[in-house]
Structure formats: structure tokens, C-alpha cells
Amino acid sequence: MTLHIPTPLIESRPLSQACGSNMWLKLDALQPSGSFKLRGVGHACEVHHARGARRFVSSSGGNAGLAVAYAGRKLGVPVTVVVPETTTERAKELLRQEDAEVIVHGSAWHEANALAQTLVGADAAFIHPFDDPLLWAGHASLVDEVAQTGLKPDAVVLSVGGGGLLSGVVEGLQRNGWVDVPVVAVETEGAASLHAAMRAGHSVELQQLTSIATSLGAKRVADQALASTRQHPVVSQLVSDHQAVQACQQFLHDHRLLVEPACGAALALAYSTQALAAYRTVLIVVCGGATATLAQIQAWAASTRPQ
């Protein structure tokens, strides 16, 4: 029994018609914590709990923190989540709903993360939002579930922030023998740390993050994510904030699911570009976004509209 659930795999007629390929959706927005993060985070929490951890500490005001809080509640383990000042009231409300202790510190994630590290005592485990082999192993289960259905896509499309999902999906593709299935890694302009690293040939730290897709806001992508691009065919693609938000709105209309712009980035590649035309059967990871609200999506749509 795992903390995450097997999620639906459905064919999307609206997206198929939009881009001319057979589009399939892995609906990880339906995980109990609201995003794919529960796969890896749940696995890491179970492993640390089995090793004797009696407290979990995390440093994410978004999907990873919510996954840790959910896992802790299910395992009966207290959770402390340190979030930056930019974290929305909605996110803090959801964390407290899962009985997590919420500490607000710093103007950005790296400052919250630094404080979180000081709170990890002898009986506690720190759960990283994206850079941990336990996370990648858990995220790989997404590919296992698709393989069990008998569907083998010609490409997998996913969003990239810190690179945990990319690292896990590549691990899953390789352990299922799908070494010929490329990953199309999508980022928003203004949060494209993987794109910068692939172009430079080495890890790069972005000077600043300007995208509204805050869940993609890692100034430096995980080393394993960059290594994955050398171990497996990975294609980097960029979309604008406006395209990502438009995709969220259209996806809500088409499939009655609200996702955040970080997830909308992957969907935007199908809705608003021809980048996937070469592939006959495409799998899109609908990674979710627990803190997204309709009012916020509508406000972003207005603020990102090209002048």
C-alpha cells in the first residue's frame, strides 16, 4: 500500500484535435495532495519513517510541502513546513488543514530552506522538494502505471521546475525499457533553468526568476535532471506565461480540472504550438497544482495578456 494512488490515464479529444496527435493525459492532479509530488514525497516519507524518523521537515509552500504534510498525517508523524513570505494564504491554509506546523521565513525559497535545515534534529528527516533519489524512484511509478495499461507513447511531455519529475520519469522510462521514448521538457520563459543548463552544457544558476509559474521557480535545476538529458533523449521547449495561463483556462473548459500555470506549461505546448506534430501518440503529465484558484488564474490571464 502506497501513500499515492494510481491515477487515471485518459484520451483527450480536445487536445488531440488541437495538435493533430493522439493525446493521452496522466491525471496526477487527482493525487490526494493535489499533485504528482505525492509519488516521490510519499515514498521518501515511508522510507524515512521505516528508518525511525519521528518528524518530517520540509521547505516548500507549494505542492511538495503539501505532499509532506499529507504523508505525515497519514503516517502519524508531525510535520513542520518552512515557507517563504511569498507563499499564498491559500497554501498556508491547505498546509494547516493537513495538521502541519507552518513557519514563515525569508523572501524566497532558499532562505526558507536554510532555516528548515536547522530544524532537522536527530529523530527528524528533511524531505527535499525535488533533489533526492528517493523522490525520483517514487515519481518513476507514474511510468510504471502507464506501461501496465499497454499504452506506449511516442513522447512524454512534462513541465520542469527543479527537475524532480523529469529525473523520475526518465528513471521510469528506462526501467520499463522505453529508452527510445523522448521526453519533451517544458518550462516557462523566466524560469527556464533546465533550458539554460542544456544550452550551456553545465549547471547554470539563473540571475532571477520572472515567471508567474512559481512552482517552476528553481534558479538551478537539480544535477540529476541535467544528467538525465545525457542519459536519455530530452527535448527542451519554452512557452510564455500567457500561453501557460491560457492553457489552464482551456483545460478547465475541456476537462473540468483546475491546474496551476506550472502544469499549464506542458499543456500549452499542445494547445498553442506545433511542437508535438511529429509524434503520433503523446502522453502529457498533468502534474496538478493544489494551491491554484480560479480567481488567481483569471487575474494572471489579464496581467500576462500581450499588449
Cross-strand pairs, 281 = 22
Task: Transcribe the chain into DSSP letters.
Answer: --SS-PPPEEE-HHHHHHHSSEEEEEEGGGSTTSBTHHHHHHHHHHHHHHTT--EEEE--SSHHHHHHHHHHHHHT--EEEEE-TT--HHHHHHHHHTT-EEEE-SSSHHHHHHHHHHT--TTEEE--SS--HHHHHHHTHHHHHHHHHT---SEEEEE-SSSHHHHHHHHHHHHTT-TT--EEEEEETT--HHHHHHHHTS----S----S-GGG--SS--HHHHHHHHHS-EEEEEE-HHHHHHHHHHHHHHHS----HHHHHHHHHHHH-STTTT-SEEEEEE-B-TT--HHHHHHHHHHHS--
- Domain check: are 101 and 236 in the same one? no
- Cα distance between residue 129 and residue 60, in whole Å: 7
> What's 290's domain CATH number?
3.40.50.1100
Please indicate, yes or no, whether residues 105 and 154 belong to a single structural domain of this protein.
no
Query: Where does a domain end: 102, 129, 156?
Result: 129
Is residue 195 located within the same domain as residue 115? no
Judgement on whether residues 65 and 95 belong to the same structural domain of the protein: yes
Mean pLDDT of all residues in 218-235? 94
Please state, as a whole number, how many other Cβ atoms lie within 10 Å of the Cβ of residue 11: 12
Together in a domain, 140 and 273: yes
Same domain, 229 and 179: yes
Average pLDDT over residues 210-224: 83
Band (pLDDT 50/70/90 cuts) for residue 279 is very high
Mean pLDDT across 207-219: 80
Q: Within a domain: residue 4?
A: no
Does residue 126 register a pLDDT over 90? yes
Domain assignment present for residue 125? The answer is: yes
Does residue 1 lie within any of the structural domains?
Answer: no
Give the per-residue pLDDT at 213: 82
Is residue 153 a part of any domain in this protein?
Answer: yes
Q: With 70 as the cut, is the pLDDT of residue 307 above it?
A: no
Rounded distance, CA 156 to CA 86, Å? 32
Look at residue 193 and tell me if it is in a domain. yes
Q: How confident is the model at residue 86 (pLDDT cuts 50, 70, 90)?
A: confident
Last residue of a domain, which of 109, 129, 149? 129
Are 151 and 81 in a shared domain?
no
- Of 241, 215, 181, nearest to 86 by C-alpha is 215
Has residue 215 got a pLDDT over 80? no
Q: What is the mean pLDDT of residues 190-213?
A: 90
Domain identity same for 28 and 77: no
Q: How many residues does the chain have?
A: 307
165 and 105 within one domain: no
Q: Which of 305, 267, 211 is nearest to 24 (CA)?
A: 267
Does 2 fall in a domain? no
Residue 82's pLDDT band, with cuts at 50, 70 and 90, is very high
Q: What's the pLDDT at 207?
A: 86
Let me know whether 159 and 16 are in one domain.
Answer: yes
Query: Does 250 fall in a domain?
Result: yes
Grid cell digits, residue 156: 512524454
- By percentage, how much of the chain surpasses pLDDT 90? 82
Please say which residue of 129, 163, 196 terminates a domain. 129
Q: Is residue 29 part of a domain?
A: yes
Nearest to 149 by CA among 283, 256, 263: 283
Same domain, 112 and 151: no
Q: Is the pLDDT assigned to residue 61 strictly greater than 80? A: no
CA angle 226, 232, 237 (to 5 degrees): 65
Q: Are residues 84 and 228 in the same domain?
A: no
pLDDT band at 135 (very low <50, low <70, confident <90, very high): very high
Q: What strands lie across the sheet with 155-159, from one edge to the other?
A: 9-11, 22-27, 281-286, 155-159, 183-188, 234-239
Exposure string for 180-209, b = 16+ CB within 10 A, e = fewer: ebbbbbbbbbbbbbbbbbbeeeebbebeeb
Which residues on neighbouring strands pair with residue 42, listed in sequence order? none
Q: What pLDDT was estimated at residue 193?
A: 93
Q: Tell whether the model's pLDDT for residue 56 goes beyond 80.
A: yes
Chain mean pLDDT for the chain: 94
Q: Residue 211 has which C-alpha cell?
A: 515567471
pLDDT tens digits, one per residue of 166-196: 999 999 999 999 999 999 999 999 889 999 9
Say how many domains are in the chain.
2
Asked if 143 contacts 173 with a C-beta cutoff of 8 angstroms, the reply is yes
User: In terms of DSSP bridges, do strands 22-27 and 281-286 run parallel, antiparallel, or are they unpaired?
Assistant: parallel
pLDDT digits (tens, 9 = 90+) for 19-30: 899 999 999 999
In this prediction, residues 195-211 reach a mean pLDDT of 91
Which structural domain, as residue segments, surrounds residue 53? 37-129
Task: Return the bridge partners of 81, or none.
Answer: 58, 102
Mean pLDDT calculated for residue range 39-49: 98
Residue 267's pLDDT is what? 97
